[in-house]
Structure 1
Amino acid sequence: MLPDIDSLALFVRAAELRSLTKAAEASHIGLAAASRRMALLEHRFKTALLERSPRGVELTPAGASLLPHAKALLHEINEMQAEMRDYADGRKGALRVLANTSAMTESLPADLAAFQKLNPDVRLLVQERWSSEIVHDLQAGEADIGIVVEGLQTDGLETRVYRTDRIAVVMPASHPLANVPEMKFAHVLDDDLVALESSASMMRLLTEQAVIEERTLQLRVQVRSFEAVCRMVQAGLGLGLLPFEGASVMGGALGLMVRPLSESWAERNMLVCVKKERASNTSVAKLVEYLVSTGPS
């Protein structure tokens, strides 16, 4: 007899939370019911899966072997249910697309809208995330396609270049740096800076380059959005650091000057990422090919 799906889901939660009590709460069942489910699961497999202690639970060797199989099975069942639900609702398929702020601020909305017109039977669910979060969600099977900035570990994912961007300095038009012939990163390191939160991939790159310059970033304000950076610059709180395309749109509307950094490292590729197991899906492959085709030849 095959193990039931609810018991496998409970086992995965217990393994990840290292607590049967917390797993029971997450599954909205009582602890006694959760214990019975785990006992039946272990009976079906004829081996212990969890070792219980006052501190929680740990996987046995058999449990550690079962965990990736259980996760893969639950992922496939989730995809099956989602696809069948879309057929029931009259839609052929739905793709969850995660994109970083650079892509969402620049070319991606128009590209997705054009793809949607060409493929009305594919429903797109689009959400904004930091690049590191996108990679994690793709690897966990919680999204179909991601747009991230290069430089992250993308194990288990297939990647292709979508677009490029270049880090730029956002400043009032009256700032002395507005007239320098060539904008260098070293030029801004004496100023107060307004930038994105430290979890943004761009900030890691800027911090690394500051170390190479044997300097530190004078971060005065860190926020979550491009618009907030530009408004802080407009208010006189410092120079902004943002991707050029997105900053040009927002900064220009606020009367700010946007100057791209001249260093080669400031140019970054944006990548389309797909989990290898999902790359062969017809709708996924179609969207990936379309996005790649809109980029530089």
Structure 2
Amino acid sequence: MIFSKDRPFLLVGAGKMGGAMLSGWMAEGLDPSAIVVSDPKPGAEIRDILNTHGIRHVTEVPADLAPSIVLIAVKPQMMDVVLPAIAPAIRPDTLILSVAAGTPISRFQTAFGPVPVARAMPNTPAMVARGITAVFPNEGVTEAQKDTVGTLLSAVGKVVWLDNEDQIDMVTGVSGSGPAYVFWLAECLAEAGKAAGLPEALARELAEATVSGAGELMHQSPETPTVLRQNVTSPNGTTAAALEVLMAEDGLKPLMTKAVAAAVKRARELAG
């Protein structure tokens, strides 16, 4: 790790994503004395973590803090307030790690100067340590800093590295926003079960267990999703009948392509 009590790791924003990461780090045994959390109004769960582990909490970042690494986990619309507020504490070798959607590396370098920046796109399954985070580091990020970023982010799931910053918007459309697509699938499947005649509560229970169970099977199996789908599908059976609808020319695939494209377009708009 590249941070210590004297050059701490600063977490700016302890909301759902920042809080999930903080929980993951504590579970991994990170030294709480080397962590500082900046959040004006941390929730009850975060306050419990801070108190349990004795993690330092500040509402304003002191100019003499000199963090070795700063994780910025606030909403993009808060950047105009947050970045100037923490700028006095940033040193030339401070690594900025951002998980804020729609905020390019150039924004941080405008605020802090030519510091090393790693831009990351996690997703909400990080809250149960099953997320996936894509990261793009700029040329100023050292190998030691990359190792630290990988260790920190792997506490909440898988980590993949990107070749260029433009890929962040594409990742946003697939995995960043993707959990919402899966949740909507569960909602739609439950509604379809209800329309078929099942009681609403039973249809919802079946749909939620099916979606989460299929995801876990895909996670644990060495087979591809294509093979897993084929394994479930008997010729001329019930699954095949349903897939004829979902795999039609106007079925799920073109709809999903349009949905991801819309998310990517919006991510690019937010980035300016």
TM-score where L is the length of structure 2: 0.28
TM-score with structure 1 setting the length: 0.27
Q: Which structure dedicates a bigger proportion of its chain to helix?
A: 2
**The structure with more radius of gyration:** 1
Tell me: higher relative CO, structure 1 or 2? Use CA pairs within 8 A at least 6 residues apart: 1
